Amino acid sequence: MKIVVLDGYGLNPGDLSWSGMEALGELTVYDRTSPAEMMERSKGAEVLITNKTLITAEQMTALHELKYIGVLATGYNVVDIEAAKARGIVVTNIPAYSTHSVAQMVFAHLLNITQRVGYYAEENTEDRWTRSADFCYWDTNLVELYGKKMGIVGFGNIGQATARIAQAFGMEVCVYTSKEQSVLPQGMLKMGLDELFTTCDVVSLHCPLTPDTKEMVNARRLSTMKPNAILINTGRGPLVNEQDLADALNEGWIAAAGLDVLSVEPSVADNPLLTARNCFITPHIAWATLEARTRLMDIAVANLKAYVEGNVINNVAK
């Protein structure tokens, strides 16, 4: 069985092993594959493994041996699922591997914004503390999270993990979800989306990207938020209208934003959020802890092994 990994570098830049997949067939791993290289590299493969490399209906039609596509992520929009279904191609994803790491990144951003740890650590490399007239100094607002309202938009695995951490900080948790109030954990309050944006001190996005949620964070909603409010997005970049958020930050409608995702990745140079006031951006790394990537690799191997054994799991193209 010929197995081709089209873009393995994101998962494994060298600190993990492909041995689990090597045991299942003839394995070829490419760090990255451009659209122009995709067909040549995929010839004769029964199995294609992809993270961000697109696999289209046209390509599937031309790849006669292709029987299995493994997506190295939870989201699988890089594959034409309907075309895969029509051709009987199995498509697997990796569910729930990064829950704790992404929830941790939410609070990495939130604590950076409220305590400005990175800023003060950098200032002290420039000897600012040694020149201070007092035993301490600060020139930013320092914010205590205890008692603040944390709004969670979407209440899947990551939203729930984020909510539990918020409660541990003593925050009041408000949730926008399709779940009924009666099944929410104790102390968590279901809210409508507009009410959540209006009343919460922190809003964290954890919902999937759909036509209904695209640019759900826009000028109208941002204008209703508290001026000291903080927006966190570790979900999907297009959940946010980026120009509207940049304007809201620059005009002081809200206090700050912490973002791990943008609408185009890698970022384009003219993205207005790159220069927006109090906007802190990390390069889509919430999922990339060694622990989360190890789980991802283990599940990817388990998915493929189950396919080989005739017991398909995590198939999103049923």
Summarize pLDDT for 262-297 with one digit per residue, the tens.
Answer: 999 999 999 999 999 999 999 999 999 999 999 999
> Residue 137 in 3-state DSSP?
coil
Mean pLDDT of the chain: 97
Asked if residue 121 and residue 264 are part of one domain, the reply reads: yes
Rounded to whole angstroms, the Cα distance separating 128 from 59 reads 58
Query: Of 261, 296, 298, 305, whose CA–CA distance to 279 is shortest?
Result: 261
Q: How far apart are the first and last CA of the chain?
A: 22
**How many C-beta neighbours within 10 Å does residue 149 have?**
19
54: CATH = 3.40.50.720
β-sheet bridge partners, residue 176: 153
Closest CA to 103 of 149, 170, 156, 180: 156
- Name the active-site residue from 58, 265, 277, 291: 265
CB of 234 closer than 8 Å to CB of 260: yes
The CA distance from 89 to 229, in Å, is 46
- Please report whether residue 85 resides in a domain: yes
Q: Which domain holds residue 167?
A: 99-281
Please give the chain's pLDDT, 318 residues, in tens.
Answer: 999 999 999 999 999 999 999 999 999 999 999 999 999 999 999 999 999 999 999 999 999 999 999 999 999 999 999 999 999 999 999 999 999 999 999 999 999 999 999 999 999 999 999 999 999 999 999 999 999 999 999 999 999 999 999 999 999 999 999 999 999 999 999 999 999 999 999 999 999 999 999 999 999 999 999 999 999 999 999 999 999 999 999 999 999 999 999 999 999 999 999 999 999 999 999 999 999 999 999 999 999 999 999 999 999 999
Same domain, 121 and 154: yes
- Phi and psi, residue 50, nearest 5°: -135, 155
Kind of pairing, strands 202-205 and 26-29?
unpaired
Asked, for residue 268, whether it belongs to a domain, the answer is yes
Same domain membership, residue 264 and residue 168: yes
Judge whether 167 lies within some domain: yes
Q: How many domains does the chain have?
A: 2
Name the phi and psi angles at 287, rounded to 5. Answer: -85, -10
Residue 148 lies in a domain: yes
Q: Which of 41, 87, 100, 284 is catalytic?
A: 284
CB burial of residue 114 (10 Å; 0-12, 13-18, 19+): buried
Structure tokens at 218: 């826009």
Same domain flag for 67 and 193 = no
Stated as kind and residue range, the H or E segment containing 49 is strand 47-50
CB environment 54-82: b (16+ within 10 A), e (fewer):
ebeeebbeebeebbbbbbbbbebebbbbe
Q: Identify whether 284 is a catalytic site residue.
A: yes
User: Which residue in the block uniquely carries the two structure tokens 């205590």?
Assistant: 144
What is the model's pLDDT at position 158?
Answer: 97
In order of 91, 153, 203, the CA distances from 195 in angstroms are: 38, 12, 11
**pTM of the predicted structure, to 2 decimals:** 0.94
Q: Which of 116, 206, 236, 295 is catalytic?
A: 236
Q: Looking at the structure, do residues 11 and 122 belong to the same domain, yes or no?
A: no
240 close to 263: Cβ distance less than 8 angstroms: yes
* Co-location of 270 and 179 in the same domain: yes
How open is the CA angle 244-166-276, to the nearest 5 degrees?
25
- Please tell me whether residues 64 and 191 are part of one structural domain: no
SS (H, E, C) 283-294: CCCCCCCHHHHH
